[in-house]
Amino acid sequence: MSEDVTDLIMQDHREVETLFEKLELEPEVRAGLTPVLVTLLSAHSRAEEAEVYPVARDEAGEAEDVAHSQEEHLLADRLLAELSECDPYSTAYENKLAEVVDAVSHHVEEEEKTVLPGMRDRLDDARRAELGQAFLKSRQEHLGEMPQDITRDEMRRQAANADIPAGDKDKEALRRELDQHADS
Ligand SMILES: [Fe+2]
């Protein structure tokens, strides 16, 4: 199995696409699979934000693409939290799932066109393997969490990735500030 962080990230993306398809086509699996989707994406995003985006910014010179990708994570987090509150048999669920699929598919496509190729070009194999280990470890620690479980420190990390000044804001103030930058 490849340990290259960019391959590991892309494996998760393909897994998420498979889950999207099931959730769209098979309403009977929604109650069981929605929490799986939400925690997988949430853990994936927290691990990227902690271990991958800071390196892509500082070592691969990708500040602008990382800031944009981070803003897309903010939107995805909000939509996933909303999806997890919807009755899986409701029209509201169908509409929210469509929003999640749109936002996340767009994000995945951009990340695979910008951030990941930049890391392959500018970081050597050993560094990408090292990041792969760090990504998996962090992802593992976050599996089971929902987007709402994010900590203040993790939100400060999001702000730094997106070039948003966090100052010494408390969690609620940070959430309001980050929400204003949630973008697709
Ligand atoms: Fe991402």
pLDDT in tens, 85-134: 999 999 999 999 999 999 999 999 999 999 999 999 999 999 999 999 99
CB within 8 Å of 157: residues ≥ 6 apart: 49, 50, 54
Domain presence at residue 151: yes
| Other CB atoms within 10 Å distance of the CB of residue 60 | 20
Domain presence at residue 149: yes
Domain presence at residue 152: yes
Rounded alpha-carbon distances, angstroms, from residue 142 to 6, 45, 52, 88, 113: 19, 9, 15, 24, 26
Label residue 150 by pLDDT band (50, 70, 90).
Answer: very high
Q: Read off the CATH number of the domain in which 173 is found.
A: 1.20.120
Domain presence at residue 110: yes
What's the average model confidence in pLDDT over 145-157? Answer: 96
- As given in the structure block, the two tokens for residue 169 are 């804001």
CA of 88 to the centre of ligand 1 (A): 25
Confidence check: pLDDT of 184 > 60: no
Label residue 136 by pLDDT band (50, 70, 90).
Answer: very high
Confidence check: pLDDT of 18 > 60: yes
CA of 150 to the centre of ligand 1 (A): 16
CA of 133 to the centre of ligand 1 (A): 17
Domain presence at residue 184: no
CA of 50 to the centre of ligand 1 (A): 11
User: How many angstroms separate the CA atoms of 15 and 183, rounded?
Assistant: 23
* pLDDT reported for residue 183: 75
What's the average model confidence in pLDDT over 21-30? Answer: 96
Domain presence at residue 142: yes
* pLDDT reported for residue 2: 83
CB within 8 Å of 176: residues ≥ 6 apart: none
Domain that holds residue 29: 5-179
Domain presence at residue 68: yes
CA of 108 to the centre of ligand 1 (A): 6
The domain tally of the chain equals 1
Q: Are 62 and 96 in contact (CB under 8 A)?
A: no
